[in-house]
Amino acid sequence: MLEVPRQFSQVELWVQAALCVPPYPEPPEGSSESTQVFHAGRNYYTLCLLVWFLSHLLIIIGLIGAHFILSISFPQMPEWARITCRIAEWIAVLAFATSVVFTFFSQRLNYALRWYIVTDRSLRIRTGVLNIQELTITFSNIQEIRVSAGPLQKFLKLADVEVQSAGGGSKDGGGHIGRFDSVSNANAIRD
C-alpha cells in the first residue's frame, strides 16, 4: 500500500467508508522506490471554496429576492396561497441549508481524494468523490505534455499539467488525456 503524508479526519474516513471510497489509490506499474505522489495545490482548495461561497451567495440572494417578491404580493393572495408559499419558502430554506453542509464537505473530499501518482514507468490520476475516476497512462504511450495556467491560477501560483497519450480507441484517433488539475509544482510533474 502507498505510504503518504496526507492525513484524513475521522469524519472524512467515516464518509469514505460509507461511500465505499478507498482513501489511498494503488500505485501504477513501476518500481516502488520511484513512486512520487502529487496532490492539487493548497490554493486549489482555496479556489474551490471561493467558487463554492460565491455560488451559495447567489442562491441566498435569489432566496431573499423570491421572499421579497412574495411578500409584496401577499396582501392580494388568498389564505391557502399564503400558507402554500410559506411552506414552499421553508422547504427551500431547509433544502439550501442541507445542501450547504453537503457541498462544503464534498469540496473538502474533492480536494483530499485527488491523487496524482507517478512511477518510473507510468502515472495514475484519481479524482472524484461520488464518481471515482482513475486513469493510468504508461510513459511509452505519452505523446505530449502541456503546462498551462489561466490568470487566476497564475495569481494563486497553480498550473495544470495535461498529458496526452497515443491510442485509446477514440473515434477521432486521439488518445487519452490526463490532467493534473491546479498543482503547485507543475514543472516538477512535467519533468
Q: pLDDT digit string (tens) for 13-67? A: 777 778 777 767 788 888 888 888 888 888 888 889 999 999 999 999 999 998 8
pLDDT of residue 171: 57
Most confidently modeled range among 6-15, 146-155, 163-172? 146-155
Q: pLDDT digit string (tens) for 64-99? A: 998 888 888 777 888 888 888 889 999 999 999 999
DSSP letter string, the chain: ----S----HHHHHHHHHTT--SSPPP-SS-GGG-EEE---HHHHHHHHHHHHHHHHHHHHHHHHHHHHHHHHGGGS-HHHHHHHHHHHHHHHHHHHHHHHHHHHHHHHHHHT-EEEE-SSEEEEEE-SSS-EEEEEEGGGEEEEEEE--HHHHHTT-EEEEEEES----TTS---EEEEEEES-HHHHH-
pLDDT of residue 81: 85
Q: Which residue has the higher pLDDT, 168 or 108?
A: 108
Order across the sheet with 177-183: list the strands.
142-148, 159-165, 177-183
In angstroms, how far is the first alpha carbon of the chain from the final one?
A: 25
Average pLDDT, rounded, for the chain: 83
Residues above pLDDT 70, as percent of the chain: 91
Confidence bin at 172 (pLDDT 50/70/90): low
> What is the pLDDT averaged over residues 99-109?
89
pLDDT of residue 4: 45
